[in-house]
Amino acid sequence: MIRQEQQAIVRKKGKELLRIEPWGPNGLRVRATQLGSIRDEDWSALLPAPVEGAKLETDGKTAVITNGKIRCELMVTGKMKFFNQKGELLLEEFDRNRFRTEIQGEFNSALEINPRMFEPIPMTDNYRLTVRFESCDGERIFGMGQYQQPYLNLKNCCLELAHRNSQASVPFMLSDRGYGFLWNNPAIGHVTFGKNVTEWEACSTKQMDYWITAGDTPAQIEEAYAKVTGTVPMMPDYVMGFWQCKLRYQTQEELLEVARGYRDRGVPVDVIVCDYFHWPNQGDWKFDPDYWPDPKAMVDELKEMGMELMVSVWPTVDAYSENYPKMEEEGLLVRSEHGKAIGQLGDAALIDPTNPETRKFVWDKIKKNYYDLGIRIFWLDEAEPEYTGYEYVHYRYHSGSDMETGNIYPREYARMAYEGMEEQGQKNILNLLRCAWAGSQKYGALVWSGDIDSSFRSLRNQFAAGLNMGISGIPWWTTDIGGFHGGNIYDDDFKELLVRWFEFGTFCPVMRLHGYREPMKPPLGTTGGGKSNSGAENEIWSYGEQVYEICRKYIFLREKMRPYIKELMAAAHEKGTPVMRPMFYDFPEDAVCWDIEDQYMFGPDMVVAPILYEKQTSRKVYLPRGKWKGLFSGEIVEGGRWLTCEAPLDEIPVFVREGKLTLSRII
């Protein structure tokens, strides 16, 4: 039986309760359960969204619901089909059931496969959920977060819906067929965009929950998605330039000497970073006074040099931490299903940011020991969190089991700092995290791509990761320039990689140099902040004069781009527009742009074609129609064609729309 309940269509048939309702502009939210009622989960990525002009029709057996550019037809069998305003089929459920298909008059099947399958998990009220849709030949799919693979188009890919170090599951996809789809479920699972079927799976959940939208362009789809999940704050001016970082500055004086080195060379730095294990114990959330004796004086001196200090914060709590006994007693730590919580990550437990009491407790420590010193930006590391072995079945949160709600961990971790900083009156909040889920953007999350290796293969993976993160609704993204693991500062091959990565990083939302360089430096002591070793130097002058001059050139190029970058950040804040995006985003009518996977748009007016292979000194570049100016050559060329461009070590092909930017020619 199908009925209308206010602004929703509800179908009750056998065990299943199905609810379809308009949600935001051109969007529909679809939920189903085999429990007694539809739940409004606290973890949902969807915000309340106004709806105007939606139309609902039902005869008790079938139903049609229309909201702007999207229409859902609910058939007598319970199968759903989604269309755009032109009547074109966007997406339909995969139904292989003889009785159902005979009623529909489509075709018979003895397979008995339902599009929505709830498999009960014994002795719980949860289900293993599988939702299937028909696959479309030639469809292109983008988004879904960050995966360590070189594929921009995710069609025919199988993706784990789970977080790992360098992997962020943000389950929003954009299709070239003209729709966007959010899997609004934080359970551990998988999605397969197969040739024969599209299949979404949640390993443990109480209900199906997804949101779908239609649009005439990728921008329309992205903006509709941003309206129902939120946008980033306005990026603060003090982070739009160059960031200096390494694993790890071991003392206050070492960090200040590096900052002074940039100042004395006249090279601007926006942010310099105090990395992990500057604390006495994990979970103390404060400086070790043996190595950082006067952090307030350090912060003040850096501000005088025009630099902000970013401090690493980890969610780990050592048994020897001064905060462990209270946190353990009050249930503020992640629990294990069997055994003690200690040991989840080495000899430490993890905070549970899904618990509001945990968020308050940890923020109060951060405020007292960092924020009150004048520190206004934090590196919220280990945000997945990084469980040894990623044994998701073994952990439980305030919000539920890891298997059911685990993917919200990085979002709630970002929320912890964001709400604390907001309470202090801070505006334009930004913090660096290693992971995200849908909705993380509204809590000021700048996501970086994790502890990747130093190789051209890894660089190619980050290229795809950054573009798909932008499509996933996370416009603030960055990567460790040069990669994290490996990279000997005296190796010529690594110097080449570093330069090419630096050039790419100049045209990322945030330009940040980081890495665990070789040869390593030994620990300074055996206690507190002295126990951890350090990588080799990682300043731009650490690699010789040629590398220094190239890096310096690109840092000053980034400075010249500040007005343009500010415009891009305003668009991200106001509309959810990705800062770096695939070519098709700005040129959806150009069929060539949908298949390009090695160049991109940095905002609407710059085509960037990075060098992604070793020893490469030229490459092909496609320019859409119009007139384009070579950033380095100054040459005006006609678009709508492929060009072969030279790319000596100190240049990558970059073109700007003629008359759109006033950047001076870079010599």
Greatest Cα pair distance in the chain: 79
Give the pLDDT band (50/70/90) at residue 267. Answer: very high
Give the pLDDT band (50/70/90) at residue 97. Answer: confident
pLDDT one-digit tens code per residue, 296-307: 999 999 999 999
One-letter amino acid for residue 340 of the chain: K
What is the per-residue pLDDT for 388?
Answer: 80
Task: Give the DSSP letter string of 570-609.
Answer: HHHHHH---SEE-HHHH-TT-GGGGG--S-EEESTTEEE-
* Contact predicate 509/579, CB 8 Å: yes
Among 274, 264, 270, 251, CA closest to 308: 270
Taking the C-alpha atoms of residue 391 and residue 403, their distance in angstroms, rounded to an integer, is: 10
What is the per-residue pLDDT for 660?
Answer: 83
What pTM does this model have? 0.97
What is the per-residue pLDDT for 99?
Answer: 57
Task: Give the DSSP letter string of 89-120.
Answer: EEEEB--B-HHHHHHHTS---SS-B-SEEEEE
Residue 107 confidence (pLDDT) above 70: no
Q: Give the tokens for residue 317.
A: 């709590």
Average pLDDT over residues 178-188: 98
Which residue, chain included where needed, has tokens 């074109």? 88
Q: What is the mean pLDDT of the chain?
A: 96
What is the per-residue pLDDT for 211?
Answer: 98
Taking the C-alpha atoms of residue 349 and residue 382, their distance in angstroms, rounded to an integer, is: 12
Task: Give the DSSP letter string of 361-395.
Answer: HHHHHHHHHTGGGT--EEEE-S-S---GGG-GGGE
pLDDT one-digit tens code per residue, 412-434: 999 999 999 999 999 999 999 99
Taking phi over 0 as left and psi of -120 to 50 as alpha, with beta for the rest, 285 belongs to left
Average pLDDT over residues 214-223: 98
What is the per-residue pLDDT for 169?
Answer: 98
Average pLDDT over residues 81-107: 81
Residue 221 confidence (pLDDT) above 50: yes
Residue 210 confidence (pLDDT) above 60: yes
Taking the C-alpha atoms of residue 292 and residue 284, their distance in angstroms, rounded to an integer, is: 14
Taking the C-alpha atoms of residue 619 and residue 24, their distance in angstroms, rounded to an integer, is: 43
Q: Using the Cα atoms of residue 43, residue 44, residue 46 and residue 48 in order, give the sign of their dihedral.
A: negative
Instruction: Please identify which of the residues 93, 176, 288, 381 carries the catalytic annotation.
Output: 381
What is the per-residue pLDDT for 663?
Answer: 65
Which residue, chain included where needed, has tokens 């057996």? 61
Residue 486 confidence (pLDDT) above 60: yes
The percentage of the chain sitting over the pLDDT mark of 70, rounded to a whole number, equals 97
How do the domains of the chain map onto residue ranges?
Answer: 2-229, 240-575, 582-657
- For residues 617-643, one letter each, b for 16 or more C-beta atoms within 10 angstroms of the residue's C-beta and e for the rest, the string is eebebbbbeeebbbbbbeeebebeeeb
Which residue, chain included where needed, has tokens 């859409």? 624
What is the per-residue pLDDT for 105?
Answer: 53
CATH of domain 582-657: 2.60.40.1180
Instruction: Please identify which of the residues 451, 503, 598, 605 carries the catalytic annotation.
Output: 451
What is the per-residue pLDDT for 620?
Answer: 98
Q: Give the tokens for residue 449.
A: 């791509």
Q: Would you call 384 a catalytic residue per the annotation?
A: yes
What is the per-residue pLDDT for 346?
Answer: 77
Fold classified for 240-575: TIM Barrel (3.20.20)
Taking the C-alpha atoms of residue 598 and residue 110, their distance in angstroms, rounded to an integer, is: 45
What is the per-residue pLDDT for 667?
Answer: 45
Average pLDDT over residues 490-495: 98
The residues that bridge with 159 in the sheet, in sequence order, are 191
User: Is it true that 2-229 and 582-657 share their CATH fold?
Assistant: yes
Which residue, chain included where needed, has tokens 């954009």? 174
Residue 102 confidence (pLDDT) above 50: no
Give the pLDDT band (50/70/90) at residue 448. Answer: very high
What is the per-residue pLDDT for 623?
Answer: 98
Residue 98 confidence (pLDDT) above 70: no
Domain 2-229 classification at class level: mainly beta
pLDDT one-digit tens code per residue, 344-373: 777 899 999 999 999 999 999 999 999 999
Instruction: Please identify which of the residues 270, 288, 318, 384 carries the catalytic annotation.
Output: 384
Q: Would you call 451 a catalytic residue per the annotation?
A: yes
Average pLDDT over residues 225-237: 98
Q: Give the tokens for residue 292.
A: 């950082």
Q: Give the tokens for residue 448.
A: 């970086």
pLDDT one-digit tens code per residue, 553-601: 999 999 999 999 999 999 999 999 999 999 999 999 999 999 999 999 9
Among 321, 382, 430, 654, CA closest to 665: 654
Instruction: Output Rg (C-alpha) for the chain, integer angstroms.
Output: 26
